[in-house]
């Protein structure tokens, strides 16, 4: 859809809307971030203009969310969301309003999720417009639902996860009534699509450390609703949460998710990834880390070929972090981890995943026909190469002829 809008782009949109006779303000998270002295990742504009009127003013406008009062304005390949001041009607699906009506900025602020996200900013007069007490909660470090928290969460259950994410991101506390409402409605989170849940978890775990966030998810009973598999066995959550806490300092969402799931059966991991709408790459990574979780016990003494194959995998650095935790958890030590690290340093990086000395075409030239035997000979040759038993093409051809003769 293009690049995120800069502040200059957003202010330009505000100016053009004002020049056309409409009210227009910066809204939401960008106002919060500016007040906190953070660089905003994107900018949203709220206006009294309807999407149709916005389209008349700007040349390139996507009307994807027009029925909800949203128009996507594209300027110099940058996309900015322009939303009409609105009040949402009922929410039948706990996600989107059944309809909207266009209202004043004050009414618009009252339909937003949390007070710290409900402020406006007038970039022309450089004035914060706060109808919901957002500045006060920002200064106090509080996440508070606007109005009735039960109603806010019933409108979109994902807001329960967003509350935890914001609390973890900013080091804020969740206001008591808001926290109580989340705990009461935690089981409803499953009404949200798995994709949205996964995306929210990835945002949480991409920031470090995630330990406080994990504790909050557990305290508010959200993690039990999202990942019931971790509570089928009384020991799963205890160890998984400690492991996740240990690795979360990396700010690596996939690693933190792996740390939670890696003790589960492969069938559970597949089901969770499918439920979350995760990619094939995510599924393969999580299954691979789970499969090799206990290899820390033998990695220092396994064959060089076996070790190099693990070392060459794209997720090895993540696996090594899990190995370190597993050893500490098992016996409080780190001798195996140190031995593994020494072994890695002793290997020439160029020899970890080298190009094969021989290909299938080479084997055919010396008389081997295509079939299962060809694949087996290639695997044996590559094992020998990884084990550094053969180091050049001549030795590889000699070994290949010997394997073909012996079969």
Query: What is d(CA 209, CA 106) in angstroms, rounded to the nearest whole number?
Result: 36
Q: Are 183 and 160 in contact (CB under 8 A)?
A: no
What the block records as the tokens of 24 is 């227009």
Question: How is 287-334 classified by DSSP, letter by letter?
Answer: HHHHHTGGGGGTTTTS-HHHHHHHHHSTTHHHHHHHHHHHHHHHHS--
Question: Would you give the DSSP letter of residue 383?
Answer: H
- Which of the residues 88, 108, 113, 315 is marked catalytic? 113
**Contact 200/162 with Cβ under 8 angstroms?**
yes
CA angle, residues 244, 248, 251, in degrees to nearest 5:
145
Q: In 35-62, which positions are buried (b, 16+ CB within 10 angstroms) versus exposed (e)?
A: beeeebebbbbbbbbbbebbbebbeebb
Q: Out of 42, 108, 137, 252, pick the active-site residue.
A: 42
Residue whose tokens read 């009384």: 234
Whether 294 is catalytic: no
Report CA torsion sign: 388, 391, 396, 399.
Answer: negative
Residue 19 · residue 27 · CB < 8 Å: no
Concatenating the DSSP letter of every residue in 63-80 gives -TTGGGTEEEEEETTEEE
Among residues 44, 88, 156, 263, the one annotated as catalytic is 44
Alpha carbon distance 340, 317 (integer Å) = 12
Give the orientation angle of helix 211-219 with respect to helix 158-170, to 10 degrees: 140
Catalytic annotation, residues: 42, 44, 113
């Amino acid at each position: 859809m293009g690049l995120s809008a800069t502040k200059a782009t957003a202010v330009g949109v505000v100016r053009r809307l004002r020049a056309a006779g409409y009210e227009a303000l910066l809204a939401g998270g960008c106002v919060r971030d500016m007040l906190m002295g953070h660089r905003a990742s994107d900018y949203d504009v709220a206006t009294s203009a309807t999407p149709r009127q916005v389209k008349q003013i700007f040349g390139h406008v996507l009307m994807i969310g027009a029925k909800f009062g949203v128009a996507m304005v594209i300027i110099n390949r940058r996309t900015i969301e322009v939303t009409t001041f609105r009040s949402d009607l009922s929410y039948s699906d706990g996600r989107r309003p059944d309809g909207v009506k266009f209202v004043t900025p004050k009414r618009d602020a009252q339909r937003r999720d949390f007070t710290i996200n409900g402020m406006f900013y007038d970039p022309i007069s450089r004035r914060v417009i706060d109808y919901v007490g957002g500045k006060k909660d920002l200064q106090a470090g509080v996440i508070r639902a606007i109005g009735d928290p039960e109603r806010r969460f019933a409108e979109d259950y994902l807001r329960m996860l967003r509350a935890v994410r914001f609390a973890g991101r900013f080091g804020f506390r969740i206001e008591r009534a808001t926290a109580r409402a989340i705990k009461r409605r935690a089981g409803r989170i499953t009404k949200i699509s798995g994709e949205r849940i996964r995306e929210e978890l990835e945002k949480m775990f991409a920031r470090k450390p995630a330990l406080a966030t994990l504790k909050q998810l557990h305290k508010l009973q959200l993690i039990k609703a999202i990942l019931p598999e971790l509570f089928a066995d009384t020991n799963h959550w205890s160890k998984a949460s400690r492991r996740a806490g240990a690795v979360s300092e990396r700010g690596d969402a996939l690693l933190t998710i792996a740390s939670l799931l890696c003790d589960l059966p492969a069938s559970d991991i597949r089901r969770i990834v499918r439920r979350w709408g995760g990619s094939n790459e995510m599924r393969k990574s999580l299954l691979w880390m789970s499969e090799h979780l206990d290899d820390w016990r033998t990695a220092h003494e396994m064959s060089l070929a076996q070790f190099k194959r693990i070392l060459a995998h794209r997720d090895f650095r993540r696996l090594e972090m899990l190995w370190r935790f597993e050893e500490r958890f098992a016996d409080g030590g780190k001798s195996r981890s140190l031995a593994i690290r020494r072994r890695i340093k002793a290997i020439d990086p160029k020899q970890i995943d080298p190009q094969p000395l021989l290909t299938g075409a080479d084997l055919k030239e010396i008389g081997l026909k295509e079939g299962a035997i060809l694949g087996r000979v290639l695997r044996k040759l590559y094992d020998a190469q990884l084990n550094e038993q053969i180091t050049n093409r001549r030795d590889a051809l000699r070994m290949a002829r010997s394997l073909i003769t012996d079969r």
